[in-house]
A and B are shown apart, each in its own frame.
Chain A
Amino acid sequence: MITVTVLLFAHHADIAGSTRLDLQLPNGSSAVGCAAAIQQKWPALGDLLRTSRVAVGEQFTDTSIALKDGDEVAFIPPVSGG
C-alpha cells in the first residue's frame, strides 16, 4: 500500500469538507484510482475528479501515471482567475 496526500480546491473542497485528505491506495494506483477511492466516501466527487486536471508534486501530469508513496496529488477544477 502507498499513502498519498490529496489536495482539493474550490467546490471540490467544499464537498469533502477539507482541502487535504490522506489516502491509502494499492501499489501502482494512479490518479484515476485515487478519484475512485474518494468517490467511495463522497460520491458527488467521483465524476468531478475524473474530469479534472491533475498535478503530482506541483507539476501537471497525466492521470494514468503510477503514484508513489508520499506523493501529493492535486485535482484542479476549471480555473477562474483574473
Chain B
Amino acid sequence: MIELVVNAPDLATVVGFAQQMGYVTVDPATKKPAVTAQGEIATGGSYFVNVVGPVTLPDGTALPGIWLRVRHNGDPALLPPVPASAAAAGVVVYRLVTPADGSVPFWSSDGATPAPDYVGTIGQIM
C-alpha cells in the first residue's frame, strides 16, 4: 500500500502528470482524456486516484495549486514511476515516510524533511 499526495500549479499539469503515470484514458468516442478514477493492479489489488482540486484548509487558508491523491493498494513495485519531468513542471510529490525505528510516520517530498501537517489530510481516502 502506497499513497502519494501530489501538488501541481494547475489542472493541466495535474492531468499531464496523471497521464504520464498511466492514470489517464482517452474516451474513444469523444477523444477527450480523463483521469481514471480507479483500476486493477496486475498482480492483485487496485488503485484509486482522487482528484481533489483546489484546497482550502479549515482555518480558511487557500493552498496554492491543484491537489491529487493516489492510493496504490498492491505490489509497490508496480507503482508507476514518478515522471522525471514532474519537478521541472512544478509538481511536488509527497510520500508517507515510515521511520525504521518505529516512530510516527510523516509526509515528505524528499524522504527526510517533514511536510506541513495539512499535506497528510488532503484528499484522504477512507
Q: Is B truly associated with A?
A: no
